[in-house]
Each structure stands twice: as C-alpha cells, then as structure tokens.
Structure 1
Amino acid sequence: MDERDWLFLQTLYEEKNITNAARTLYISQPALTNRLKQIEKEFGVQIVNRGRRGVQFTPQGEYLAKCAHETIHRMQQIKENVLNMENKIAGTLRLGVSTFFTDYKLPGLLKLFKEEYPDIEFKVTTDWSSQIAHLIHNQDVHVGLVKGDYKWKDQKRLLFDESICIASKEKIDLSDLPDLPRIDYRTDQNLKMIVDNWWAENYTKPPLVSIDVDKAGTCKNMVANGLGYAILPSMILDDLEDLHKTKLKTSEGELIIRKSWMFFHEESLQLNIVRAFVEFIERIDLEAIH
C-alpha cells in the first residue's frame, strides 16, 4: 500500500460510487476497480460490496477507510515537519474557507499572500461555515475562515464585522415587506437563523418568496434588476451603490452584526507556513480587499 492507494480508499469511501471516485481521482473506472482488487488481494479481505446503488463497505473496508484518513493525515504532517526543519516558509497551506468569503475576499487575499511568500502553495476547501468549523476541529485544514459564531476553544481571531441588510432597487416601506416579492438564496444555517429570527420578531405572516436561487451573488443581481428585495450580508452589496440598503436591527434598536473569524490550533503555529499566514492576516486590512 502506498500513499495513493490510501487516497483511493478514502475517496471511494466518501463517494460510495466507483464512477464518481474515479472522476474525482482523474483516473479511469477500470483502473480504480483493478487497483481496488489488488488492495483486497494484498489484505486478503473483501473491502466493498458492489450493487446498483453504488458500493457498500464491509466491516474490514470500514476499518481500512478509517486508517486511510489517519494515514494520509499523518503523511501530510510528516512532509510539513520535514519542510519546517529547513526554516523556510514553503509547502502547502491547507485552508478551509466559507463560501461567502471565497467569493468576495479569498482571491485578493491569496494574491497578496503569494506575493510575499512565493514558495507557498494552497489547498483550499470551500463549504458552508459549519462544515469548515468541522474540518478545522478535525485538523483536516490548517486554518479555517468562517462566518458566524461557532463554538471553538482553541485560537481564533476576529476578522471583521458586517451588518445584514434589506436590499432593494427602489426604496420600500418595511411595513410592506411581507407583501413584496422576496428573492431567497441558499445560505448556511447560522445566517438563515439570524434572518428567520428577525422576521419572526417583526412580522406575523411569512415572506412572499417569488424567486429562489442557489447563490447570494445571483440573488444580488436579481435585486439589482428590480425583481424583488433580498436580505443579504453587507459585504456582498459593497459594489452596488444604487441599491437601497436598510440594516437589520433588534427590537432594542441594536444593529444585527455577523462576525467573520479565523480559527486555528495553537500547536499549528509551530509550522512556518501557518505562523506566516496568521501574522499576515493580523496585519492587513481585510475589509479593503476585494
């Protein structure tokens, strides 16, 4: 078993489908099937059962898949520690980044960091903030950039605050909101809960959702074309000056704020690449990056 074999097992376990796993690994399906047979022969056990609904891992296969994750993680640590011994800021920085942050801040951020540290490469995983919090907890990434408040007992840094806004092409009376067409979009549970709680405090009838889209960026463009209003984080709206924006407030009149955080483990600061990234984030103005 070499490192690539462990990666084959881990990917197949995640996908539960040989065709999808082969596509993810950029190899042919026959090549993956053949390698799986070789691994089964090496261990003398059946790893998966194949059926119309994909593959099901046997108990032995489940165990090996768990070992695959641990082995790959350990190999990453070994490579990082070896590079670290040279006191060079080089290697691959593994980042977990929330979807919103990826769309609106990450490209400019990585460009600036790469200019300072040209020998660093990136492996970036993007997902909802709740999933990124899970990845950093399991040390699958070095640093997590999340939006919203999550329980985290290790090191964290506040990146910036942003308000939540009602955005519309024309000025609207908030008392009319339940009867006006709203454009909704898929977002993480944290933001959805904030918006839903605010709505429940202010209205007795549900919103009139006329358009439902997959991304906040698409939603913003719909609003800009006068197709309805939307409730969006202010960062997404910064590039549109001609929209009417009303910041959400609590019943006590306080602004409803959403925080963005950087999460990392204290021990990971022993790696030059992680320490360099954390120090870089601490000294730049993130709000100025577009």
Structure 2
Amino acid sequence: MRDSDWKIIYELHQNPSITKVSGLLYKSQSAITKRLQSMEEELACRIVERTPQGVTFTKEGEFLFQMAEKYLQLENETQEGLRKLREEHKETILLGSAYTYTKYSLYDVLNPFTAAHPNISVRVINKQSNYLYEMLMEGKLDAAFIRSDYTAGVYHELVDHTAAYCVTRDPVDLDALPSMEQVAYQTNQKTIGKIEAWWMERYGTTLPEPAEDAGYIEFAFRSIAAGNRYLLCFLPDNFVNEFQLTLTPLLAKDGKQITRDSWFIYKKEKNRRAVVDELIQYVEKHVKIRG
C-alpha cells in the first residue's frame, strides 16, 4: 500500500462519499475508485461496499480504518518530533537594531542570510542606538546595527549613510525656522548633537526647546502633516513619504549635506560563537560600504 492510501481510507471513513473525498484530497473520483480497487486486490479483501447513499465499510475495512488512524498519528508524531529536534539544534543570534534601521533596511539585509542559514534563528531587539551599544558592551547582544558613531571599543563596519532634512508640511525658507515651532522625537544623543551643531553654525544660537516631543518619529510625521511646524531628522534614501511632506536638505556652510553614519558593531572576542562569525562575514561581504 502507498502512504496516501491510508489517508484515503481515513477520509472515506469520516466522509463516506467518494465525491466528497475526491474534493478533500484534490484527486479525481476515478483516481479514488482505482486506488480502492488496487488496495482490495493487494489485500485480497473488500474494504467498502458501494450503496446509493455512498459507501459502507466492511469488517476488514473497519480494521484498516483503525490501522489508518494509527499510521497517520504516527506520521504526525514523527513530523512533530523532527521539527522539535530541528528547533533544539537552532542557534540564536541576539541582534540589536535601531528603530529606523529596522524599518527601512534590516530585513532586506537579514532575509538572504536567514534563508541561507535555516538552522540559525535571529532575535531582533529594537532600541535607540546608545542603548544598543551599552547592551553590546554588557554582553547582552551578539551584534547590532546602529545609527551614529557609537563605535568606541568595538569592531565596526560602515553599512549606510543617511542625510539630514528639515521636514515640513509646506515648502519653507530655512531662515524662517527660528520663528516656527519644532517637533522633536526620541533619538540618540550623537544624532541630536549633529543637529545642534548644524543649528549653531547656521543661526549662531542653541537649538530651541521643542514645542512637542512626539516620541516615535512616525508620530512626529503625523504632527508635521497637521500644522505649521518643522522636524529636523535624518532619513534614508528609501524613506516612504506617506504624508507627502516637504523635505529640505540641511547643508553645512561649505554646501555639503549633513549626514549620519550607520554601523554594524560587534565586540572584540576570542571565543565568539561560529554562528555570529557567519553573520559578521555575511555583513562584511554583502552589506559593508567600501572605501
């Protein structure tokens, strides 16, 4: 008997209609009938009797149904057992990722790696870059993708540049910013420092206190879309401008755009796990920005 024969017997007992079973198993009625005939010839017994109401099982058929239940249960237990064994042998990488890196870049980076390494599980921890750096130094992460230069005492690979913009609902002359309300959002101190340095160079004053702290940057976009305010932030090239906001580049006095680096960081360890080395090698080969 074929493995699929047990499924035919089981389903036919649950649904005593060849028409119904053919639909459940995605087989033609003639294919189901032929397999029943072949089973009966092979086992030298009648399995079912055909009636106008469908089929009824013979004593031999009832016995085969009981065996089909056991067979299918064993098959399910076998598959589940193998799945658990595979899960037990999976190694987990604890990977930190800054919020905006996760949203715009991380899974484009990770998906090819995880597809090529089915026995590696990657657990992503989203936090601000300064917290991720601290977690890495404390041994709570294997590696991290961060925004800004939190690179002291760790290996670091440059993976991205993001440019600074003034985000407003409508086009604006940057000279008008000091008279407008600012919306802030949660980000790391080094990023804030870059914005403050640009403001000091441009206006000769300290960056004013924000009128609103929106928390996550997505909430800041919503606030900007609703009124005459501005947001100073860094955005990746693949930023999705769902609110159709105006993006005005922030330029230094020499005309160069203000940018922020993004890094892949990991600790200097002699006994690093092989799976972490595989991720590092992957980033080095496929993600790192050269030159």
What is the TM-score with the length of structure 2 in the denominator?
0.60
Conservation of the 8 A alpha-carbon contact between 1:96 and 1:125? yes
Counterpart in the other structure of 2:239 = 238
State the AA in 2 paired with 1:124.
V
User: Tell me, what secondary structure is at the counterpart of 1:250?
Assistant: coil
Q: Deviations over 1:242-280 (max 9, x none)?
A: 432222222333322100011113436853311221222
CA RMSD of aligned residues (A): 2.8
Counterpart in the other structure of 1:120 = 120
**1:273 maps to which of 256, 272, 275:** 275
Conservation of the 8 A alpha-carbon contact between 1:220 and 1:237? no
Counterpart in the other structure of 2:219 = 218
Distance 1:283 1:223, change over 3 A: farther
Q: Deviations over 1:50-87 (max 9, x none)?
A: xxxxxxxxxxxxxxxxxxxxxxxxxxxxxxxxxxxxxx
Conservation of the 8 A alpha-carbon contact between 2:199 and 2:206? no
Tell me which structure has the larger Cα radius of gyration. 2
1:174 aligns with 2:174: yes
Counterpart in the other structure of 1:185 = 185
How big is the shift at 1:214? 0.7
1:209 aligns with 2:210: yes
Conservation of the 8 A alpha-carbon contact between 2:153 and 2:267? no
User: Tell me, what secondary structure is at the counterpart of 1:209?
Assistant: coil
Aligned length: 199
2: distance between equivalents of 1:282 and 1:267?
17
Counterpart in the other structure of 1:148 = 148
Q: What aligned pairs does 1:259-270 form with structure 2 within 5 A after superposition?
A: 259-267=261-269
Distance 1:244 1:96, change over 3 A: same
Distance 1:248 1:235, change over 3 A: same
Q: What aligned pairs does 1:64-83 form with structure 2 within 5 A after superposition?
A: none
Distance 1:246 1:139, change over 3 A: same
Structure 1 runs not aligned, ≥5 long:
1-88
Conservation of the 8 A alpha-carbon contact between 1:177 and 1:207? no
Conservation of the 8 A alpha-carbon contact between 2:143 and 2:264? yes
Structure 2 runs not aligned, ≥5 long:
1-88
